[in-house]
Amino acid sequence: MSVQRPVVLIVGAGFGGLSAARALAAADAEIIVIDQRNHHIFQPLLYQVATAGLSPADIAGPVRSILSEQRNATVVLGRVCGVDAAARSVEIELRHGGDGPTRRQLRYDYLILATGARHAYFGNDHWERYAPGLKTLEDATAIRRRLLLAFERAEMAVDPAERDANLTIVVVGGGPTGVELAGSIAELARAALAKDFRRIDPRKARVLLVEAGPRLLPAFTEGHSEAARVALEKLGVSVRVNARVMDCDAAGVVVGEERIPAATLLWAAGVQASPAAAWLGAAADRAGRVLVGPDFGVPGCEGVFAIGDTASLTDAAGKVVPGVAPAAKQAGYYVGDLIVRRLSGWGDLPPFRYRNYGNLATIGRHAAVADFGWVRLRGGLAWWLWGIAHIFFLIDFRNRIAVTLNWLWSFVTFGRGARLITGNLAAQPAATEPPPPPAS
Amino acid sequence: MSVQRPVVLIVGAGFGGLSAARALAAADAEIIVIDQRNHHIFQPLLYQVATAGLSPADIAGPVRSILSEQRNATVVLGRVCGVDAAARSVEIELRHGGDGPTRRQLRYDYLILATGARHAYFGNDHWERYAPGLKTLEDATAIRRRLLLAFERAEMAVDPAERDANLTIVVVGGGPTGVELAGSIAELARAALAKDFRRIDPRKARVLLVEAGPRLLPAFTEGHSEAARVALEKLGVSVRVNARVMDCDAAGVVVGEERIPAATLLWAAGVQASPAAAWLGAAADRAGRVLVGPDFGVPGCEGVFAIGDTASLTDAAGKVVPGVAPAAKQAGYYVGDLIVRRLSGWGDLPPFRYRNYGNLATIGRHAAVADFGWVRLRGGLAWWLWGIAHIFFLIDFRNRIAVTLNWLWSFVTFGRGARLITGNLAAQPAATEPPPPPAS
């Protein structure tokens, strides 16, 4: 006769979900981690894959491998279709190829929804095919393919207008992702690609960074925003603030009243949470994030928590918990600990408080901005700090070595090692590329 | 008034094409290298990408970057559709996305066809969707996805027969690629995946290597064949010789009279040259290779050469030039030199002679066979030699470092770093995956 252990279902193997699983390592419970992909990715470096500086495997590790030593944890490759909070069960679709999707029901005692977010187009979802966003490895390799193919088209262009449009890249959104993408693309064109073409000069590529608000990096101080703008312009990026995108199509973008012909548009302007709120019938904010209680509990759904980009919370100190990796990790550990305490009958934890250890953003090879509250840095020192912090937080030690070496190599040679165009070239012209699959 | 320089068109940026381009570095000519992909791949290590040991970027380098310092060379990303040998022009299709394919005519004074080969199914081309082969990076990541998804399906299988079929992998063809694939898959299952599942034991996966002929590695001595068989069986691979595949489908394979249920079939049994002979209307052997003259010239086509896997030649010493990387490189340098001499009016070269520096094949982590004619090695020493030789011949120095570190890491930890399932899972069930694009 076996005693059924309580089941903790964790949906999503990002920073939040994995932290929760780790906090539950010693629990006498069955931990099931469900993700629709087999790998965890280190999202803060995804832009480096998109700009050919790193390989997908450098910033990703198999979820099974990350949890292989945690014997109470089971990993399921599947996609959640819905939650029955009354019956305490989740419906998942296995996505393993073979005879097509198969559905299963998984019951839970506790459910942690850490399903993340995707880019938002503010009601213009049809823009996605023209201006893709960056959330998954597939997004990153698709963007890499678009960027590199635009230079190929420019090299072969007969018409000067066609050549110029192919040498114009517009990044929409002046947050950290937009700033990092724009800086990295400018460097790709100016250094790594500089000698590779015969008819065009890749250094003449135009990189535009378009931000609807009054300044870049709104989460930082105004001094940092200004430093970021100066550093980007030194790299050759044209920065436009107070500039709103009115339309996108295969030929370019309309910013305010100006049409800019551009073959490559990239979207880093907003996020939309995964449909967790809809699964639960729970209240959500405008970005679709579940309005959770002070312990990330979903009101009205016993045993259900939402964390990370899936949740909207103002913490016990009155601070809005931001949608960044450290906040997701802290939330994961908090909820994991809370469930351990409840399972053990030790009572609850005090309400969650977010601890902000600082903000970091990088601009190309030598510049970065850092804000730790007590100290604010810009330039070279901030850049090195940024590099060390990112390598330190890469989950898998092997990846740390690979990333360090790739970076040192790029730093010394200005080269980019991962400049591969993969996927089916002929079947996926940029103008008609299908939108990426939705997140769950 | 500009003097038009002679044009040397090289189709294919594999070992043969790139060697020819390098031999022409000092020529007063315009060298145009056309490939349908933007990267050169180090094919002897492709099986490591397919089995999650290396990343695509570890074994591939952008053709533009390899030739960036060679100022007389231009790279074109395009696919050859046909050759007009009378008019001395080649029709290519640019494959850059955007508004779909565009055709261009390129005229030449000399044409080198180094377009390689793909796997052959001996009249059963419909088997390709069930038993894919390994020639491109896309092939390798597709095989990696199939292999890893089969273990995922096995983990979730309810029916024991379904579980066992998903834990059965059949590799068809006992040449170096088949031997290396089978050994590497057995190690993946036995070491890297061993602790990652909860319901199945990946160490119990069955790996079958099926060869129609009487022994493995027919290009080596019988002693080596036997050593390879013993080493593979020690790794847990079942080797079947004199075993012919009669049929393949989504559920398995028929070998002789026995049906073997297997979710993963891989094809390493034969090659078919690209359609260069058809473009030229030239005579070809049964595998489609152009029957070339003693200097790789195509009879009846002035200024046209075919090299590497595209050509069939018995050299001046009476040896058949084999379809291996060193032979393709030697042919490329030979034809490049020959064109330099003709352009300079220095006359011709003596007929080509293939120099065989040895054969090497590896079987898993510690075993390999090597045959240099004057010395024959097996086991650990041959394995280290194999590793050093491969790293040494990787074209790009950066790749050498990455490969060395990945290997040292795998060697120490038994892990596999590149265990990513990428691409669209739901849209490409294994049974209905579309065939890979044809080579040109």
DSSP state for residue B6 in the 8-state scheme: P
Mean pLDDT, to the nearest integer, of A349-371? 78
Say if residue B298 is in the same domain as residue B386: no
Contact A58 B55 (CB under 8 A): yes
Contact yes or no for B429 and A98 at CB 8 A: yes
Tens of pLDDT, residue by residue over A113-134, are 999 998 889 889 999 999 999 9
At which of B344, B369, B396 does a domain end?
Answer: B344
**Chain A from 216 to 275: CB within 8 A of any B CB:** 263
Quick: pLDDT tens for B264-281: 999 999 889 999 999 999
Measured CA to CA, the distance from residue A74 to residue A31 in angstroms comes to 6
Residue A215 is assigned to a structural domain of this protein: no
Task: Read off the pLDDT of residues B174-209 as tens digits, 9 standing for 90 and up.
Answer: 998 999 999 999 999 998 888 899 999 999 999 999
Q: Are residues B135 and B246 in the same domain?
A: yes
The CATH number given to whatever domain includes residue A31 is 3.50.50.60
Of B195, B423, B437, the CB nearest to A68: B195
Looking at residue B433, its pLDDT comes to: 38
Do B98 and B166 share a domain, yes or no? no
Q: Report which of residues B224 and A254 the model is more confident about.
A: A254
Put simply, whether B408 touches A (Cβ < 8 Å) is: no
Interface of B with A in 107-166 (CB under 8 A): 137-138, 141, 145-146, 148-149, 152-153, 156, 166
pLDDT attached to residue B407: 60
User: Strands, E, within A307-349: which ranges?
Assistant: 311-312
Which of B314, B344, B374 terminates a domain? The answer is: B344
**What average pLDDT does chain B have?**
86
**Which residues does chain A have within 8 Å of residue B102's beta carbon, measured at their own beta carbons?**
156
CA A65 to chain centre: 21
Q: Do B236 and B138 belong to one domain?
A: yes
Given A97, A198, A420, which is nearest B56 (Cβ)? A420
Chain B residues with beta carbon closer than 8 angstroms to that of A415: 65, 398
Which of A56, A76, A195 is facing B68, going by the closest CB pair? A195
Identify whether residues B168 and B275 lie together within a single domain.
no
Q: Per residue in B138-183, pLDDT tens?
A: 999 999 999 999 999 999 998 999 999 999 999 999 998 999 999 9
Residue scoring higher pLDDT (A398 or A372): A372
Check CB contact under 8 Å for A98 and B148: no
Handedness of CA A318, A322, A325, A328 (dihedral sign): positive
- B290-291 and B311-312 as β-strands: parallel, antiparallel, unpaired? parallel
Q: Which of B65, B137, B431 shows the shortest C-beta gap to A196?
A: B65
**Measured CA distances, A303 to A91, B238, B239, B312 (Å):** 17, 50, 53, 70
Reduced to 3 states, what is the DSSP secondary structure of residue A304?
Answer: strand
CA B146 – CA B126 distance, rounded (Å):
18
pTM over 0.80: yes
Q: Is residue A369 part of a domain?
A: no
Q: Does residue A394 surpass a pLDDT of 60?
A: no
- Rg over alpha carbons for chain B, rounded to the nearest Å, is 22
Answer whether residue B41 is part of any domain. no
Is B336 among the domain residues? yes
Average pLDDT over residues B239-250: 95
Q: Is the Cβ pair B402, A406 closer than 8 Å?
A: yes
Contacts of B396 in chain A (CB under 8 A): 417
Whether the predicted pLDDT of A267 surpasses 80? yes
Say if A39 is an interface residue toward chain B (CB within 8 Å). yes
What percent of chain B is modeled with pLDDT above 90?
A: 62
R_g of chain A computed on alpha carbons:
22
Decide: helix, strand or coil at residue A301.
coil
Phi, psi of B58 (to 5 degrees): -70, -30
Instruction: Return the closest-CA partner of residue B272 out of B286, B260, B258.
Output: B286
More confident residue, B120 or B408: B120
B214 reaches A (C-beta below 8 A): no
- Determine the average pLDDT of the residues in A240-254: 95
Residues B408 and B286 in one domain: no
Q: Where are the beta strands (DSSP E) in A274-333?
A: 290-291, 304-306, 311-312
For residues A309 and B2, the model is more confident at A309
Across A227-236, B239-248, B366-375, B382-391, least confident range? B366-375
B57: closest chain A residue by CA:
A418
Which residues, other chains included, contact A207 with Cβ-Cβ below 8 Å and sequence gap of 6+? A169, A171, A182, A185, A186, A189, A236, A237, A238
Query: pLDDT value at position A271?
Result: 86
Closest by alpha carbon to A177, among A238, A119, A99, A138? A119
Q: What pLDDT digit, counting tens, does each position of B71-99 carry?
A: 999 999 999 999 999 999 999 998 776 66
A382 by Cβ neighbours in 10 Å (0-12 / 13-18 / 19+) ranks as buried
pLDDT tens for each residue of A321-339 = 998 888 999 999 999 999 9
**Token couple for A210:** 């378009």
Average pLDDT over residues A367-395: 65
Q: What is the CATH number of the domain that holds B142?
A: 3.50.50.100
Task: Indicate the residue among B282, B312, B344 that finishes a domain.
Answer: B344
Cα separation, A247 vs A257, in Å, equals 10
Q: Do B422 and A55 touch (CB under 8 A)?
A: no
Q: Which of residues 54-73 of B touch A (CB under 8 A)?
A: 55-58, 60-62, 64-65, 68-69
Q: How far is A316 from chain B (nearest CA, A)?
A: 39
Rounding to the nearest 10 degrees, give the CA dihedral for residues A40, A46, A49, A54. Answer: -70
Q: What does the pLDDT read at residue B191?
A: 84
* Cα–Cα dist A434/A361, whole Å: 31
Q: Is residue B65 part of a domain?
A: no
Which residue among the candidates B30, B69, B152, B180 is catalytic per the annotation? Answer: B180
Whether A38 contacts chain B with CB within 8 A:
yes
Inter-chain touch B39–A420, beta carbons under 8 Å: yes
pLDDT tops 70 at residue A427 = no
Distances (CA, A) of A88 to A61, A75, A245, A294, A341: 30, 19, 43, 22, 20
Please report the number of interchain residue pairs, chain A to chain B, with beta-carbon separation below 8 angstroms.
Answer: 187
Query: Residue A97 and residue B430: Cβ atoms within 8 Å?
Result: yes
Instruction: Give tens-digit pLDDT for B348-406.
Output: 899 999 988 777 777 766 666 666 656 666 666 666 666 676 666 655 545 565 566 66
Which of B235, B231, B234, B241 minimizes the C-alpha distance to B209? B241
Same domain membership, residue B408 and residue B278? no
| Domain total of chain B | 2
B428 — pLDDT class (breaks 50, 70, 90): very low
User: Which residues of chain B are within 8 Å of residue A401 when distances are taken between CB atoms?
Assistant: 405, 409
Find out whether A418 and B436 touch, Cβ atoms under 8 Å: no
In a domain, A13, yes or no: yes
Cα–Cα distance measured from residue A120 to residue B49, given in angstroms and rounded to the nearest whole number: 35
What single string gives the DSSP state of each residue in A172-194? E--SHHHHHHHHHHHHIIIIITT
What are the distances in angstroms from CA B410 to CA A400, B48, B54, B405?
15, 11, 10, 8
By the 8 A CB rule, do A66 and A37 touch? no
How does residue B44 score in pLDDT terms, banded at 50, 70 and 90? confident
Q: How buried is residue B86: exposed, middle or buried, by Cβ count under 10 Å (0-12/13-18/19+)?
A: exposed
Mean pLDDT of A306-320: 94
Residues B133 and B100 in one domain: no
Any A CB within 8 A of B398 CB: yes
Residue type, B121: Y
Residues B247 and B366 placed together within one structural domain of the fold? yes
CB contact under 8 A, A398 and B415: yes
Over 50: is that where the pLDDT of B222 sits?
yes
pLDDT at B219: 83
Count Cβ atoms below 10 Å from residue B229 Cβ, excluding itself. 21
Q: Which two tokens stand for residue A363?
A: 């601009």
Q: Annotated active-site positions of A, please?
A: 180
The pLDDT of residue A192 is above 90:
no
Q: If you average pLDDT over residues A217-232, what whole number do you get?
A: 88
Q: For residue A399, with 0-12 CB atoms within 10 Å meaning exposed, 13-18 middle and 19 or more buried, which class applies? A: buried
The larger pLDDT score, comparing residue A254 to residue A411, is at: A254
Pairing of strands A367-371, B110-113: unpaired
Nearest 5°: phi and psi at A273? Answer: -65, 155
Measured between CA atoms, the residue of chain B closest to residue A67 is B196
CA–CA separation, B412 and A80 (whole Å): 37
Q: Evaluate if residue A39 carries a pLDDT over 50.
A: yes
- String of DSSP letters for B347-389: -PPPPP------EEEEETTTEEEEE-SS-EEEHHHHHHHHHHH
Active site residue B138: no
A293 inside domain: yes
For residues B170 and B311, membership in a common domain is answered with: no
Beta-strand pair B73-84/B30-35: parallel
> Distance between CA B2 and CA A429 in Å, rounded?
37
Query: For chain A, what percent of residues have pLDDT higher than 70?
Result: 82
For residue A216, name the pLDDT band (cuts at 50, 70, 90). Answer: very high
| The pLDDT of residue A419 | 73
Give me the domain span that covers residue B194.
125-268+361-432
Task: Give the chain B residue nearest A56 (alpha carbons).
Answer: B55
Q: Give Cβ neighbours of residue B402 (< 8 Å, ≥ 6 apart).
A: A402, A405, A406, A417, B55, B57, B58
Residues B212 and B115 placed together within one structural domain of the fold: no
Same domain, B223 and B259: yes
Question: Is B79 within a domain?
Answer: yes
Phi, psi of A436 (to 5 degrees): -65, 160
Q: Please provide residue B90's backbone torsions phi and psi, each rounded to the nearest 5 degrees.
A: -120, 135
- Arithmetic mean of pLDDT, B118-136: 91
pLDDT at A379 over 70: no
Helix (H, G, I), strand (E, B) or coil at A253: strand
Residue A54 backbone phi and psi in degrees, to 5:
-130, 160
